[in-house]
Amino acid sequence: MSDLELLEKLHRTWVQALINDCWNDYAAIIVDADLSFDTAWNEYENDFCTSGLLVYLPLHLYSLVTKEEEIQKVLKDHFVNIAHGHIWVNMTTFPIYYRVKLLEVEENWQKTIKFLIAKSKELNQGLITEKAFARKGREPIIYNEMKFASQSEIRIAQELEMKGVLFFPLPLAVRHETGNIYEDHREVDFLICLDGTFGILEISFHPDRYEKDKEKDAWFKKSGILCVEHYPAEKCYNQPKAVVEEFLSFLYKHKR
């Protein structure tokens, strides 16, 4: 069996092993990867030998994996388990190296990127956050051509991306009732759609804003968005997977 055939079989089995153990999110990472063996010269055998695995990931997934030791451990444990006996090396010390999958160079790519950079500050999203930040001399954070108010929000967005869930970050909601913009316009952290049912996930930085948050929640519930959940910013940053999974389980119960 050639190295290419072996890699394809290992790749397919690796993904399946993760799915079988309910690590679907991590399987979604690996399925988009390109694999190759890292080789080193073996002076005893006077030949090159396999010394590790190179995993090439899209840029956003590379950033996610290399920042999370838990993801790396789960991925490696499953690979070592399925590769045992197929790669003739000591699997207990077999390293996995993550690399960025380089982008294809399209024609006039510099012009395209300049356009995206110029348009990034004109995104019709995060308008209220942008105004609030401007008063403090700050700017929203741009991730993947989306505006965010915090790294906690970006962690949640990345988790939603991994799950393939439809979501709207910092959307502006309008219901013209009073003629007062500050009462008729509301912005939430995430509007999420699960099989046609919408819910709102809010990230809380101020635990003492109960009354204000309650009034805002009621504003949306008046129009039929009944699933509105708040999570502490610290938990969203440190445990985004747990937050998203819990929220989606709540939203699923509201399906009509």
Express each pLDDT in 166-187 by its tens digit: 999 999 899 988 888 778 889 9
CA distance 19 to 122: 40
Question: Phi/psi of residue 219, each to 5°?
Answer: -60, -40
The top-level CATH class assigned to 119-252 is alpha beta
CA distance 212 to 204: 12
Beta-bridge partners for 143? 146
Angle, CA of 242, 22 and 228, to the nearest 5°:
30
Residue 213 tokens, joined: 């948050």
pLDDT of 97-154, one tens digit each? 999 999 888 888 888 777 666 655 555 567 667 666 666 677 788 888 888 989 999 9
Is the predicted pLDDT of residue 88 greater than 80, yes or no? no
> How much is the average pLDDT of 30-35?
91
Q: If you average pLDDT over every residue of the chain, what do you get?
A: 85
Radius of gyration of the chain (CA): 23
Residue 108 tokens, joined: 């006039």
| Domain boundaries defined on the chain | 3-100, 119-252
Choice among 71-85, 90-104, 217-231 with the minimum mean pLDDT: 90-104
pLDDT reported for residue 178: 85
CA distance 182 to 186: 7
- Least Cα distance to 26 among 67, 90, 78 occurs for 78
CB 148 within 8 A of CB 141: yes
CA distance 177 to 121: 30
Task: Read off the pTM.
Answer: 0.56
